[in-house]
Amino acid sequence: MHIYFTIFFFVFGTIIGSFLNVVLYRFNTGKTLMGRSRCFSCRRNLSPIDLVPVLSYISFGGKCRTCKSRISIQYPLVELATGILFAGSYMLFSPVLEASPTMFLIQFVYTLIIMSLLVLITVYDMRHKIIPDMFVFTFIGLSFSTLFLGFDSFGNILFRIPDLLQLASGFILAFPFYFLWLISDGRWMGFGDAKLAVGFGWFLGLSSGATAIVLGFWIGAAVSLLLLGMGYLSKQYAHKKVLGMKVPHLSLKSEVPFAPFLIAGLLIVFFFRYNLFESFAYLI
Ligand SMILES: [Zn+2]
């Protein structure tokens, strides 16, 4: 039964991912979310067969069926990622389902909304190097609201008053980002990253939120070094052929979106319950 539900939520996630693609392409363009999707090149209205998540892209070779123009890899990747995140969320909370269906439903639906927001923030930041306020404030608001919610031993929902540290955790985690943003005049860190960190503190709590941010910096550093190394190599071998292929010239863009790395850190902490401070607690 368990495996069927996991597959079901994966498929459901790819469908939501397909909707998130529509949001990503139409956000801030003045277009509504209603109306049919069209091919960007030939303007043909897409039919259901073109819109099956992941599978349409694979079976038509990543091209429009009519005009054969290339379709962005973003479509299947967003669908696939959302599917994996939804299936993973189900697996994470399925033990709660047996204990209390109400508690499961609330936590699971809440997590699915958070995951969808994180997909939107990641892709939007990668494409436009900015995090829209609407996405990040919804994330912050949802994270904040959970500070006031708890469950009793029967799984009934309770109102609770968070302690001072829980209330402050969002601001504590955001402060280093705010500081970097302030002293560099927004060159090292965007203000959007500071806002995102507020949500991290409230969504994960102080020590897990801090773990997510530290992991985010490590992943960001590793990827930047890799890109620098590739940039160096591509300069050395520019215009030469390696294995019959021309080496493209790569260079590190001055502005690397940072939200995707932070969110990667958050997902590791959330799904694998990893906490840096607990792992090293025996040292103290
Ligand atoms: Zn077309």
Instruction: Tell me what pLDDT residue 28 has.
Output: 83
Highest mean pLDDT among 37-46, 86-95, 150-159: 86-95
Instruction: Tell me what pLDDT residue 153 has.
Output: 78
| Statement: residue 1 has pLDDT above 80 | no
Measured in Å, residue 25 CA sits from the centre of ligand 1 at 16
| DSSP string over 186-221 | TSSS-HHHHHHHHHHHHHH-HHHHHHHHHHHHHHHH
Residue 57 pLDDT grade (very low, low, confident, very high; cuts 50, 70, 90): very high
Model's pTM, two decimal places?
A: 0.89
* 240-248, Cβ contacts within 8 angstroms, sequence gap of 24 or more: none
| Statement: residue 30 has pLDDT above 90 | no
Measured in Å, residue 246 CA sits from the centre of ligand 1 at 29
Residue 16, CB half-sphere, CA atoms under 13 Å: how many? 23
Instruction: Tell me what pLDDT residue 158 has.
Output: 86
Residue 121 pLDDT grade (very low, low, confident, very high; cuts 50, 70, 90): very high
Measured in Å, residue 72 CA sits from the centre of ligand 1 at 12
Measured in Å, residue 41 CA sits from the centre of ligand 1 at 5
Confirm if 78 and 17 have CB atoms less than 8 A apart. Answer: yes
Measured in Å, residue 43 CA sits from the centre of ligand 1 at 6
Q: How far is CA 77 from the centre of its chain?
A: 12
Measured in Å, residue 36 CA sits from the centre of ligand 1 at 14
Look at 25 and 279; give whichever has higher pLDDT: 25
Beta bridge partners of 159: 149
Residue 190 pLDDT grade (very low, low, confident, very high; cuts 50, 70, 90): confident
**122's torsion region: left (phi>0), alpha (psi -120 to 50) or beta?**
alpha
Measured in Å, residue 46 CA sits from the centre of ligand 1 at 9
Measured in Å, residue 21 CA sits from the centre of ligand 1 at 17
Element (H, E) at 263: helix 259-272
Measured in Å, residue 63 CA sits from the centre of ligand 1 at 8
b/e burial code for range 34-48 (CB count within 10 A of at least 16 → b): eeeeebeeeeeeeee
Instruction: Tell me what pLDDT residue 239 has.
Output: 63
Domain positions in the chain: 1-99, 128-284
Beta bridge partners of 127: none
Measured in Å, residue 18 CA sits from the centre of ligand 1 at 18
Look at 255 and 133; give whichever has higher pLDDT: 133
Measured in Å, residue 6 CA sits from the centre of ligand 1 at 34
The neighbourhood of ligand 1, an ion, using CB within 5 A, equals 39, 41-42, 64, 66-67
Instruction: Tell me what pLDDT residue 229 has.
Output: 83
Confirm if 93 and 107 have CB atoms less than 8 A apart. Answer: yes
Least confident range from 126-130, 143-147, 238-242: namely 238-242
Measured in Å, residue 66 CA sits from the centre of ligand 1 at 5
Residue 201 pLDDT grade (very low, low, confident, very high; cuts 50, 70, 90): very high
| Statement: residue 224 has pLDDT above 90 | no
For residue 81, how many other CB atoms are within 10 A of its CB? 20
Instruction: Tell me what pLDDT residue 249 has.
Output: 55
The CA distance from 273 to 119, in Å, is 20
